[in-house]
Amino acid sequence: MLTEQSESTPSAVTAPQVETKAAPAAHTTRQATTQAATTQRVRNPKRVVAGKMVAKRSRLAREEQKKATEAYYAEKREKATEAPKPDAST
């Protein structure tokens, strides 16, 4: 019975067909500047030398600090072994 009713209904009663618009095309404008650098980066030689000096200075300071720390702990260990043991006979 349902098929008879759907066949007999006039086309004016059905839902109107909505015209669909096509989706907008992909973004086609191009970027004015390139994403990747096209020229080789020029480094300032004075800055490079200064950076190397700073790195050397910090490396030497770190080594000195490490030596001082080792000497401190070595001295602390020596004092711990030299300490007289308390007399248990009293």
Q: Is the dihedral of CA 65, 67, 68, 70 positive or negative?
A: positive
How confident is the model over 5-62, as pLDDT tens digits? 555 555 555 666 666 666 666 667 776 776 776 778 889 999 999 999 999 999 999 9
For residue 10, being part of any structural domain is answered with no
| pTM for the predicted model, two decimal places | 0.43
For residue 42, being part of any structural domain is answered with no
For residue 69, being part of any structural domain is answered with yes
Domain count, the chain: 1
- Alpha-helical (H) ranges within the chain are 2-8, 45-82
For residue 52, being part of any structural domain is answered with yes
